[in-house]
Structure 1
Amino acid sequence: MTSTFSLPGVSRQPSTAASAVTISFAGFNRAWAAWIGDRLERRGLRVVYMRWDAAPEISPVDLLHDLTLAEGRILILVSEWYFQLGPRTHEEWNAALRDVVATDPSRFAAVSVTTAPVPTATAMLAPVDLTNMGADEAERRLLDRLGVPGDPLPDSGDSEQRGPRFPAAMPEVWGGVPRRNTRFTGRERLLNDAYHLLQGSEPGAGVLTLHGMPGVGKTQLAAEYVYRFGSEYDVVWWINAEKRVAYRRLLAELTPKLGLSTGAEYGERLRAVRDALRRGEPYSRWLLILDGADEPDQVWDLVPSGPGHVLITSRNPEWGEHNSNLLEVRVYDRDESVAFIRRRAPRLTEEDADLLAEVLEDLPLLLDQTAGWLNDSDLSVKDYIELLEGGVDQDVVKVSADFPLAFQTAWSILLNKLRETVPESVDLLRLCTFFAPGFIPVRLLREIAHDDLPQQLAGLLHDPLLWNKAINQLRQYSVVRLESHESTSDESASSGEALYLHRMVHQIVRKDIPETDRHVFIDVVRRALAAANPGRPTDTRLWDAYAEIVPHLKYADVLQSKDRKVQILVLDCLRYMWLTGEYSSGVKFGERALNAWRTLLGESHPRIWELTYHYASLLRSSGIYKRTEIIERAAAKHLRQEHGEENLDHLRAASGLTADLWGLGRYDEALELSERILTIDRRVLGEQDSRTLNALNHLAISLRLLGRYVEALDIDRKTAEDRRQLLRARHPWTLFSQVSYAIDLRLLGRYAEAESIQTANFREHRVVMGADNPQTLRAEHNLALCQYRGGEVDKAGPLLAWVLGHCERKLSETAPQTLAAAVSQSCFAREHGDIDQAREASEFIIARYEALLAAGHPFIAGVRANHALILCRVGERDHAHVLIEQSLADMTMAVGENHPWTLGCAINASALRNLVGDTESAAALSRDTITRSAEALSRTHPLTLSARIAHAADLRGLRDRQQAEKVEQEALSELESTLGKQHVDTISARSRNRPYWDFEPQAT
């Protein structure tokens, strides 16, 4: 039977002749059909496309007889694929061609698009060869075969009209695509559905995810899609998307391919590529394939939008929540399984193939591995199935409920076969299982010195011939595959720089390892990982290397190693995880490490205290302040007693304790400790040591949290300058100090200056640390607040929402930095967005802070003060009044009556008192706030000016219009001088809109 359909994307011309041509083609040759059809339609012929798609039970004779029912001339695209339906023998096809074509040869014509052997009787179709030539010559031969005039076509004047690319011509940009699987079978419906879903999508929405359980052939399906439809694109780029770092790297490598001119910085190249794809310049017809994107949360924000298409393979259907169409890839239909097995193992009969497919439940991965082995074996399928059912390994554990028990038993058979042929391949496979499943950087194994290797593995890892032999043996049976990457040369690929090992295979092989070998193999992998440690987790240029190492730590069980280098690797990886915002996984790993090392090394081993510091940093960034205080206080006490207060480990623990006190809202204690640490650091290390500058940075944070912004500004400015000299301009700590300096400027009301500095600093962060790094998000958050305070609402709103979304995805909804971003977004929504959403968000924020922090914490008082403004806005004045008065009292108790946060609460409280009719009390509070704010900040600080504008409103409420006018005019004059006549705060005050204050949790 055949399938008749149109091909979207192929140009259509009005028919100028009655002639019709039916193109009969195998799905594998779809690109040829599209190009030929386009050439014919441009000549005025009407084209019908019939994909050759037949059930096994239909004979070749019947198939060809049915084809004669088609309209007009029948053009057959001759290839080996056309005659593989079933599959059927060449003899069957020869008989059918003689029976059908010979009786009416004028109905048939043919072109050949292959150099492979085809049935000899195709000669009666007189096919003309279109291979190994250019498009013009191929078109000339096609038209000549059909008797169509080949006169030049008139210029249509439509410069935008582009038909399908000549199939022999590659897209302008092509990279990373695996070789075409010449045994690919079936999947016609899926390929068609995928094509129509992408082609029918709106611009910017062409994203499709092929999802399904492991082993169903998602990657093979995506590769076949590329080869069938790739001629319709100008850019085809294949990306391994299993890990975010690899995805970013591979996407950035498109930069030169697209002819983009950028600097060498990683982030700059990535942004340039995404922008070019979004704009469709220089290519609008692009296709990206994201292979193995099993964790949408890790990469969805990097999926380009624009006029092109994105094809994703994933086990995870949650891509549907990220604006992707979904297409489930299931196991083969039985006829597909049988056809595939017979291509993989030609010696098997159709009956054998059906029997094997039934036992293996039509899972493509299993069919490929078992059929390939059976083809090289003398074992019959029935004997093989008896082995499976009898259980070669009786002590098997089911890998998952998705796969049959026979799969594991089949693996036992395969492993035995590998042991008999190339035993070193089993050693290599077992070594791989002490890395994480998926892509395995086996090149790290070959970098270990020969003398450091056990004799059992030395030959394998240092004999190139034996290494390649082992890898080729594993590849032959589809146990592993080589990572596909365009920049990988054939030589390096064949040497197996990185192998891919399926998770199911990984689990089965690992379980099968004898205990004596287990210790040998795991020790080698640990040493390989330790040797790969770059040694500088603060160097952003080395983060890709750490990102490659971290997933393997668990499988190498590094926490049980007494090797000092392995333990240093653990510490460096924890530091990396903290620096890059991997808090959740870092906390889990740190806790496991602490428990393991206390048993392994003892409670007081020096490395325990270093581990404690890194673990506490991760806990603190997750908001678990009480626990970190206990840990850090105990560490600081012990180290001080053992080594004295000038001991550097003690000072580091004390510095961590300072940060804990910030989180707990105990700012006076934190300041005292900050000053003590700085004094000791200066005495022991000198002014220009990096650790002294860290202490100086801590002092500035303590002062800022106490509202002493001018002092913090001076220290942050000095720290930034010193770090720039001592470290480098783009060092993370230098960039951090610049953000702190910009925050100080903003809190002092110097909005334009703050925004100018923060804009440049944010760009540096993006380039150096990446868009999703916590420090970059801190910089971006401050930039949004600078824009907001400066009156650039249109810029600030989207940026605040962007920062919050990325904080939630990267750090979790309840991380302190995320909550700080949520507070800003809620305040913005109250004034410029949906008040109901602002209220819902505010209630969530209050609940999270109440769960995270102790009663009486200033952050709780602050977000309640913000919530009071929302309640007032929705008409719940009495409730708002009660809440703001309680917040004012709590904030005063927490930080004192002269702290800017207390003064801000007072401005809001005076407004609520005025609103509920308590005008005298409102005036008294606003007057007192002016005095305190002028002393704490300055007479012209925006907070003081807000209090003065508020007081003028209270005076008007008391009918003291003359004094109100005087106060208001003086405040307006100073607002114009300080912020400018056109600043939103000045304009609002001039319109007599009562000012309000937003509490902002200070990130540390």
Structure 2
Amino acid sequence: MSGARTPVGSAEKGAAKQTVTISFAGFNRAWAAWIGDRLERRGLRVVYLRWDSPAEIPLEDLLRDLKLSEGRVLIIVSEWYFQLGPRSHDEWNAALRTVVAPDPARFAAVSVTTAPVPTAAAVLAPTDLTNMGADEAERRLLDRLDLPIDPLPESANGARRGPRFPAAMPEVWGGVPRRNTRFTGREPLLNDAYHLLQGAEPGAGVVTMHGMSGVGKTQLAAEYVYRFGSEYDVVWWVNAENRVSYRRLLAELAPRLGLETGQEYGERLRAVRDSLRRGVPFARWLLVLDGADEPDQIWDLVPTGPGHVLITSRNPEWSEHNSRLLEVPVYERYESVAFIRRRAPRLTEAEADQLAEALEDLPLLLDQTAGWLNDSDLSVEEYIGLLEGGIDQDVVKVSADFPLAFQTAWSILLNKLRETVPESVDLLRLCTFFAPGFIPVRLLKEMPHDELPEQIAGLLNDPLLWNKAINQLRQYSVVRLESHDTTSDDTAASGESLYLHRMVHQIVRKDMPDEDREEFIEVVRRALAAADPRRPTDPELWPAYAEIVPHLDYAEVLNSTDSTVQRLVFNCLRYMFFSGEYQAGIKLGERALDTWRSLLGQTHPRIWELTYHYANLLRAVGEYGRTEAIERVAVDHLREERGPQDLEHLRAAGGLAADLRGLGRYNEAFELSQWILAAYRELLGEQDSRTLNAQNNLGATLVLLGRYEEALGLDRQTMEARRLLLRARHPWTLYSEFAYATDLRLLGRYPAAESIQAKNVKELLNVMGSNNPYTLKAQHNLALCHYRSGDREKAGPLLARVLERAERVFGETDPNTLIFVTSQSCFARENGDIDQARELSEAVVARYEMMLGDGHPFVAGVRANHALVLRGVGEREHAHALIEQSLADMTAAVGESHPWTLGCAINASALRSLVGDPESSAELSKATVARASEVLGRTHPMTLSARIAHAADLRALRDRRQAEKVEQEALSDLAATLGSQHVHTVSARARNRPYWDFEPQTV
């Protein structure tokens, strides 16, 4: 055949000389794109012609039509090319001998398969491109077309980035299901999806394939990935059926992108979204969100950026979340017929058409039914008769979007399974008590098998029976074997990862005898409880909890009274709290409270433990009002039932004290915290860890009360005791060091505070990692130590870095993040970026107002900060009105002698002076000096600021003698306290009026 080969240019004349028409099966689209790109780079004109083979058109006619194409016809040979139609090898051999053999010069071919193809394909003389690298494949391609094999000029090679060599995987590839070798049709949908994504503006490349259950959305998305995946550097497939699994699986992309993060999912997730948004390190990415039926749960977490997002969903509401919709209908009839004949070769075209009509062209049902019909002696007519009369006509549909035929067909299939391998039905029913989708059946095999129901014990204890049941379900496409991490058949054969379609899941679960239901659901509950790692605070074990959580609802674990199952619920709630899955945890906690109150009674001991975990989750998102109401009920009941000295009562009281701190009711929190500490000391002694926790909480309350010296003494005592009881690098010991350094800074002892905090940060980085909440709080305090010491060069970058990380780790509305935003706004205001300061200040005021409401000291404090921003942009009257309101609100909230009130007064006196009221300004600054001296001492930085401000007011009233005296005394104390070259001393010497920044504290 080689003698018949001719160069591309010799086939035709004129413009067609430099043309190659590539004929390819849609399945091999990636090969066509790569080959076309290689040829176009060498100056050839390429025409792409997707091969189709409608059954009603003779194959010889189709091949003759192909000869009408311009230039040389290059056929990409694969089993897919010859299977379309479907056509037999005999048909192909006849057609190739009739049409191609007489004129071989018009054709060339490359082979991209090792599977058998029609023998007459030899007339095409295909060059093999399998099992080699891109360079050798290109060399062979050019040789087959008699084109020069010289290297391209450098400019041509580097001018643009073409498709990846199809045999080479994208740089990052994960979670994608195996390719469905029976995939049929859907060409227009695949092309529409491709053009919608490619034609989208940057940041808007989101397409949702939506349609009813069983229509083949997941298979369509998978085929899209395999056809077009070579154009991406990153392809990542995520099960998006719920927010928890979506966050976990998307977060797992972080290490694959080379992102340096800690173990927390929230942190990893935000790092991934930021990386995808920026397109660094990869701009060409494809993210597939499979089964995203509830847009409200995850739309806010869908990445934007230069890449593409492909969503499969039953819910068309994705159109409201910046996604283009692509409806996936049932098969066209010709697609159904082609699919059935490939799935069940024994059926004729007419029989396939009859079956497709009876099953309403639904792909999932066609797959399952044709599979077992091919192995059955049952005729299509007999099967259709069963469909029409084999079940009561008043059967209620499983779901509004399920065809009526589905339930009937399933009844027939289940009977078939029971007759052949009854254990497969048991396994299938067990699977329905996990969530639909990926079923971790290995949990069943790993659980203790004593006291199991007989039929289940036999299945789990006999590997041969287990594999027989798995294979039976596979054979009829009831389940798929999948693995997120490998395509190894060995892994699949072990049955560790089954995929069960939602539609199948629902109907099997519904069609189950009550006695089996009770037995099977209990088995799954016990399997989940046995998989509990029992340490929800350990980040290394969080993947295990993330695997368990989606199945809790389907196993109805909340209905169990088994103590180990209820312990699993507690541990999952704690995992959600520590990993940052607050909203999902809150929903689980709410459902658990409702269910357990009915199941166990309103006052069962486990209700109060559940209340504790639920309140922690609510408190983490700043829901202090709700948690206060919940904790107060628990405290009152436990005190009455068990007495005030009961440990459960004390734990609940500690939660209530935290709520009171969050609500700004610091005096109440102080009295309660004092009593709790005394009770712990009496019950457990001074050195018990719970006593020291109570002591730590009392110290935090003292800080919020502005009693910094008392807090310093108590926090020092807690820190030293924790060093002895725990260890120097225990997280709680390190937190005590942070609290102690904060107290020192608030007292104006900046060098000592900075020294301790710098050491503490190093220890936290080593122990907890760079993005742990403790570490970020400590780094924030270190930045403020630098700032108060006058080292703005160190403070600025550290404040910005902490805020950026906090927004990734905690989110923008988290209480910790709001503290960091407040500091960043103040720093920006004083260091030349008033626009950023205003933007941040307005945001933090709005968020605190929404979270805490009027009357809270934090709201008054950030409004006082905002007044300084308004002063900075020239809005004097607005600033004056706002600071006066803030001063009144802060006084009402914490009293006239609290340091926060004194700070507001310093700022208010400055604005009174600025708007032309020097008498009132002097009166306020004088009273502030007196109160600050009493509360904080004459040489505290806040008192010194008040004294400098009062000197300015005296000067404005032309009392120069007294002004000079007050100023000189203050300057002398400033130099002695902070140093003669400290920024505050230098600023006061230059007669710049001082100000005060409000700083929210951890509650």
Q: If the TM-score is normalised by the length of the shorter chain, which range does it land in?
A: 0.7 to 0.9
Higher mean alpha-carbon deviation, 738-747 vs 335-344, is at: 738-747
CA change 1:118–1:889 in 2 (3 A) is same
Q: Is residue 950 of structure 2 the alignment partner of residue 951 of structure 1? A: yes
Q: Is residue 185 of structure 2 the alignment partner of residue 183 of structure 1? A: no
CA displacement at 1:520 relative to structure 2: 1.0
Q: Is residue 84 of structure 2 the alignment partner of residue 82 of structure 1? A: no
Aligned to 1:433: 432
Aligned to 2:69: 70
Higher mean alpha-carbon deviation, 243-252 vs 647-656, is at: 243-252
Show CA shifts across 1:482-512 (max 9, x none): 3423258643432222333333332222222
Aligned to 1:848: 850
Aligned to 1:571: 570
How many angstroms apart in 1 are the aligned matches of 2:758 and 2:85? 69
CA displacement at 1:707 relative to structure 2: 1.2
- Helix, strand or coil: the match of 1:475? helix
- Helix, strand or coil: the match of 1:451? coil
What number of residue pairs does the alignment pair up? 979
Aligned to 1:510: 509
CA contact (8 A) 2:776 2:802 kept: no
Aligned to 2:897: 898
Aligned to 1:4: none
CA contact (8 A) 1:19 1:72 kept: yes
Structure 1: segments with no counterpart, 5+ residues? 1-14
CA change 1:63–1:355 in 2 (3 A) is same
- Helix, strand or coil: the match of 1:833? helix
Percent of aligned positions with the same letter in both sequences? 73
Q: Is residue 210 of structure 2 the alignment partner of residue 212 of structure 1? A: yes
CA change 1:418–1:730 in 2 (3 A) is farther
Q: Is residue 854 of structure 2 the alignment partner of residue 833 of structure 1? A: no
CA change 1:248–1:716 in 2 (3 A) is farther
Show CA shifts across 1:850-901 (max 9, x none): xx56x75434544554565566677775565455434323322332222122
Amino acid at match of 1:848: M
Structure 2: segments with no counterpart, 5+ residues? 1-13
CA change 1:903–1:389 in 2 (3 A) is farther
How many angstroms apart in 1 are the aligned matches of 2:921 and 2:705? 26
Q: Is residue 676 of structure 2 the alignment partner of residue 681 of structure 1? A: no
Equivalent runs, 1:283-322 vs 2, <5 Å:
none
How many angstroms apart in 1 are the aligned matches of 2:868 and 2:384? 73
Equivalent runs, 1:517-536 vs 2, <5 Å:
517-536=516-535
Amino acid at match of 2:210: G
CA contact (8 A) 1:442 1:499 kept: yes
CA change 1:29–1:374 in 2 (3 A) is same
CA change 1:646–1:841 in 2 (3 A) is same
CA change 1:244–1:160 in 2 (3 A) is farther
How many angstroms apart in 2 are the aligned matches of 1:754 and 1:303? 42
How many angstroms apart in 1 are the aligned matches of 2:969 and 2:396? 82
- Helix, strand or coil: the match of 1:586? helix
Show CA shifts across 1:744-801 (max 9, x none): 4554454856874686577569749x77xx7777678768877887745566458547
How many angstroms apart in 1 are the aligned matches of 2:858 and 2:268? 40
How many angstroms apart in 2 are the aligned matches of 1:72 and 1:218? 38
CA change 1:575–1:61 in 2 (3 A) is same
CA contact (8 A) 1:719 1:737 kept: yes
Aligned to 1:10: none
Equivalent runs, 1:328-339 vs 2, <5 Å:
331-339=330-338
CA displacement at 1:621 relative to structure 2: 3.8
CA contact (8 A) 1:801 1:825 kept: no
How many angstroms apart in 2 are the aligned matches of 1:489 and 1:755? 51
CA contact (8 A) 2:293 2:315 kept: yes
CA contact (8 A) 1:858 1:891 kept: yes
Aligned to 1:501: 500
Show CA shifts across 1:274-317 (max 9, x none): 99999999988776666556678888899889987776656677
Higher mean alpha-carbon deviation, 502-511 vs 753-762, is at: 753-762
CA change 1:179–1:91 in 2 (3 A) is same
Equivalent runs, 1:547-558 vs 2, <5 Å:
547-558=546-557
CA change 1:158–1:653 in 2 (3 A) is same
CA contact (8 A) 1:287 1:310 kept: yes
CA change 1:972–1:435 in 2 (3 A) is farther
How many angstroms apart in 1 are the aligned matches of 2:215 and 2:987? 63
CA displacement at 1:459 relative to structure 2: 0.7
How many angstroms apart in 2 are the aligned matches of 1:517 and 1:369? 24
CA change 1:933–1:315 in 2 (3 A) is farther
- Helix, strand or coil: the match of 2:450? helix
CA contact (8 A) 2:825 2:841 kept: yes
CA displacement at 1:925 relative to structure 2: 1.0
Q: TM-score, normalised by structure 1?
A: 0.83
How many angstroms apart in 1 are the aligned matches of 2:84 and 2:918? 90
Higher mean alpha-carbon deviation, 301-310 vs 567-576, is at: 301-310
Aligned to 2:457: 458
CA contact (8 A) 1:746 1:754 kept: no
CA displacement at 1:364 relative to structure 2: 3.5
Amino acid at match of 2:646: N
How many angstroms apart in 2 are the aligned matches of 1:901 and 1:490? 67
CA change 1:918–1:407 in 2 (3 A) is farther
RMSD: 4.8
CA change 1:16–1:67 in 2 (3 A) is closer
Equivalent runs, 1:106-255 vs 2, <5 Å:
106-132=105-131, 138-139=137-138, 141-150=140-149, 166-168=165-167, 176-192=175-191, 208-213=206-211, 214-231=213-230
CA contact (8 A) 1:952 1:965 kept: yes
Show CA shifts across 1:379-436 (max 9, x none): 4555545554557365655454444333344333333332222222222222222223
How many angstroms apart in 2 are the aligned matches of 1:264 and 1:580? 9
How many angstroms apart in 1 are the aligned matches of 2:766 and 2:301? 19
Higher mean alpha-carbon deviation, 505-514 vs 872-881, is at: 872-881
How many angstroms apart in 1 are the aligned matches of 2:264 and 2:612? 32
CA change 1:430–1:22 in 2 (3 A) is same
Amino acid at match of 1:183: R
Equivalent runs, 1:10-49 vs 2, <5 Å:
18-41=17-40, 45-49=44-48
CA change 1:151–1:921 in 2 (3 A) is closer
Show CA shifts across 1:228-268 (max 9, x none): 34555676665656677777877787899889999999999
Q: Is residue 99 of structure 2 the alignment partner of residue 100 of structure 1? A: yes
CA change 1:692–1:128 in 2 (3 A) is same
Aligned to 2:921: 922
Amino acid at match of 2:80: W
CA change 1:619–1:178 in 2 (3 A) is closer
Show CA shifts across 1:602-622 (max 9, x none): 454433332333333334445
